Amino acid sequence: MPPEDNQIPLLSDQDSDQDVAYESGEKVHIVGINELDEEGSLVVPPFSWKKLWLFTGPGFLMSIAFLDPGNLEGDLQAGATAGYSLLWLLMWATAMGLLVQLLAARLGVATGRHLAELCREEYPTWARMVLWVMAEMALIGADIQEVIGSAIAIKILSNGALPLWAGVVITACDCFIFLFLENYGVRKLEAFFAVLIATMAASFAWMFGETIPSGTELLLGILVPKLSSKTIRQAVGVVGCIIMPHNVFLHSALVQSREIDRSKKGRVQEALNYYSIESTVALIISFIINLFVTTVFAKAFYGTKLASSIGLVNAGQYLQEKYGGGLFPILYIWGIGLLAAGQSSTITGTYAGQFIMGGFLNLRLKKWLRALITRSFAIIPTIIVALIFDTSEAALDVLNEWLNVLQSIQIPFALIPLLCLVSKEQIMGTFKIGLVLKTVAWLVAAMVIVINGYLLLYFFSSEVTGVMFTSVVCAFMGAYLTFIIYLVSRGFTLSAWHCSVPSKQTQGIE
């Protein structure tokens, strides 16, 4: 490295001019990765439980976005207002989310690059910058919800001694936990998240056991689709909060934490197989946890006067009033589960922010500085929000609706580039998706975009008033739709020379 580079302490120490998700020394070594394949590089090695264990981790980090405070609020509101009737939709929404995440993993494994990096290479500067801004906005919106959720949990567990803004400050320190654990390796970080997921599962399973929801109604809710005009808004919310834009970027980077020989097609396919298994298991667990939350509130509040007023802020208190007593107050069980959800999702948000910023801008900053910048983007507006809305539950609910809208707007800007890139042979080589999977993926993406479009239309029709505000919103929506059309059309016209870097990486497996 040239001497002048050593005089810039904020730059990373890597030799390449390109930002990468993981340095070679940070990756998890897979048993047998350097062994010669007796039957050739096209053969997928036999299944190994030991290898599955080594590949296990990225899927569970990805699944945390399905368990963040925003999802938990959607679960409890769906249960309180729609009972058990939307459990089938929760299951199928999770399945759709799994498909999208598997495609993100496929992109990362086959190319050795994550979605933000490929967007930087495939789109012109102006489009790339718009995509980056949209991804950052989605991340900030999600992070505010997650930090507020953690702050609410801290307020509950401290019996109100710590106000919301103090909980936000405490939660802000989680980036230092993240940096501390990352220094000890990827596996230590993944183990920490496993403990948080286990904490959520234990807390909400305890609540499930305390309230004892109806098993018959639970099974009917999963197996028999039901939807009425009274529950359509909750249904849209269930689907809308499953696919998080920043999570698509995150998963495509997380899968690069394992050492994979991309010159051998069999080894790449092996990695895809193991990642598919561990991601499926992780999302099954997240579905069960979401199921616990939905059925607890369906049992407790469906059909009551409180159903329409329940949110994250008052949910624990309402549960305590209905199911008080016991070995351990249900209020604190709820607080522990909510804290685990908030802390885990804010740390993964910091992780995603590093990949998004580094990938789109190709910044070679030290990880601690990048994490600090990413965390500041969300913490500063969150502290302001906490100071303003600390005394008003209704105001927090309104803020949450606006944040949901913000994230819904961003969904096409993650899904469309993902589907376009994963369909291109110049980028994916022989691992591009086939016609059937491509059709299903586009149908799922279209369904999610339309559902979120309905949410936007419903929200703006009720919130937008005044000629000037209406004109601004209409102009924004016109530009928004135009950019979506551009992204779709761009996906069908990507030329091979734009893909020269990924092509070199995949030539060995074609």
State pLDDT tens for residues 287-299.
Answer: 999 999 999 999 9
* First vs last C-alpha separation in the chain: 34
Task: Convert 267-280 into a string of H (helix), E (strand) and C (coil).
Answer: HHHHHHHHHHHHHH
CB 154 within 8 A of CB 162: yes
Give 146's pLDDT tier (boundaries 50, 70, 90).
confident
CB 267 within 8 A of CB 273: no
Q: Which amino acid is at 12?
A: S
Cβ neighbours, 10 Å, residue 374: 25
d(CA 285, CA 102): 16
Q: 183-212: string of b/e by CB count within 10 Å (b at 16+)?
A: eeebeebbebbbebbebbbebbebbbebbe
State pLDDT tens for residues 246-272.
Answer: 899 999 999 999 988 888 888 899 999
Tokens 């999977």, residue?
Answer: 437
d(CA 154, CA 142): 19
Dihedral angle computed from the Cα positions of residues 46, 51, 57 and 62, in that order, rounded to the nearest 10 degrees: -10
Which pairs count as long-range contacts for 279-282, CB under 8 Å and 24+ apart, including other chains?
A: 279/58, 279/59, 279/62, 279/63, 279/98, 279/101, 279/102, 279/105, 279/251, 280/59, 280/98, 281/59, 282/59, 282/60, 282/62, 282/63
Q: Provide the CATH number for the domain formed by 46-409 in this structure.
A: 1.10.4160.10
State pLDDT tens for residues 188-207.
Answer: 889 999 999 999 999 999 99
Q: Indicate whether this model's pTM tops 0.95.
A: no
Residue 291 tokens read as: 């199921």
- Min mean pLDDT across 92-101, 351-360, 379-388, 446-455 is at 379-388
Mind giving me the DSSP string for 391-405?
T-HHHHHHHHHHHHH
Give 353's pLDDT tier (boundaries 50, 70, 90).
confident
